[in-house]
Amino acid sequence: LQDKLDKALHTLKGKGQITEVNVAETVKEVRRALVDADVSYKVAKDFTNTVKEKALGENVITSLNPSQLMVKIVHDELAKLMGGEVTELKIDNNPSIILVAGLQGSGKTTFSGKLASFLKTKKNKKVLLVAGDVYRPAAINQLQVLGEQIGVDVYADLENKNPVEIAQSAIAQAKQNGNNVIIVDTAGRLAIDEQMMEEIRKVHQTINPTETLFVVDSMTGQDAVNTAKAFNDVLDYNGVVLTKLDGDTRGGAALTIRSVVDKPIKFISTGEKMEALDVFYPERMADRILGMGDVVSLVERAQEQFDEEEAKRLQKKIAKNSFDFDDFLKQIQQIKRMGNMKDLVGMIPGAGKALKDVEVDDNAFKGVEAIIHSMTKVERKNPNIIDNSRKKRIAAGSGTSLQEVNQLLKQFSEMGKMMKFMNSANGKKMMETMSK
Residue numbers in the known binding site for GTP are: 102-109, 185-189, 243-246
Specify the residue, 133 or 275, whose C-beta has the smaller distance to Mg ion: 133
| 269 lies in the site for Mg ion, by CB under 5 A | no
Q: Which does 105 bind (CB under 5 to 8 A by kind): Mg ion, ligand GDP, none?
A: ligand GDP
Q: Establish if 115 lies at the interface with Mg ion (CB under 5 A).
A: no
Instruction: Label the pairing between strands 265-269 and 277-279.
Output: antiparallel
Give the chain's length. Answer: 436
Q: Does 186 contact Mg ion by CB under 5 A?
A: no
Q: Which of 26, 109, 218, 232 binds Mg ion (CB under 5 A)?
A: 109
In whole angstroms, the minimum distance from the beta carbon of 113 to Mg ion comes to: 10
Residues that bind ligand GDP in the complex, under the rule CB under 6 A:
102, 104-110, 188, 243-244, 246, 269-272, 276
Q: In which element (H, E) is residue 277 found?
A: strand 277-279
The distance of closest approach from Cβ of residue 103 to ligand GDP in the complex, given in angstroms and rounded to an integer, is 7
Q: Enumerate residues 6+ apart whose C-beta is below 8 A from 402.
A: 391, 392, 395
Task: Name the residue nearer to Mg ion (CB basis): 27 or 131.
Answer: 131
| Contact indicator for 404, 370 with CB cutoff of 8 Å | no
Element (H, E) at 183: strand 181-186
Q: Under the criterion CB under 5 A, does residue 71 sit at the interface with Mg ion?
A: no
Nearer to ligand GDP, 84 or 137 (CB): 137
> Regarding beta strands 239-243 and 211-217, do their DSSP bridges make them parallel or antiparallel, or are they unpaired?
parallel
Tell me how crowded residue 274 is: count the other CB atoms within 10 A of its CB.
18
Closer to Mg ion by CB, 133 or 211: give it: 133
Question: Among residues 39, 139, 184, 286, which is the contact residue for Mg ion, using CB under 5 A?
Answer: 139
Annotated binding site: 102-109, 185-189, 243-246
CA angle at residue 206 from 204 to 212, to 5 degrees?
Answer: 25
| Closer by beta carbon to Mg ion, 8 or else 183 | 183
What's the CA gap between 328 and 335, in Å, rounded?
Answer: 11
Local structure of residue 220 (DSSP, 8 states): G
Binding residues (CB under 5 A) for Mg ion: these are 108-109, 133, 139
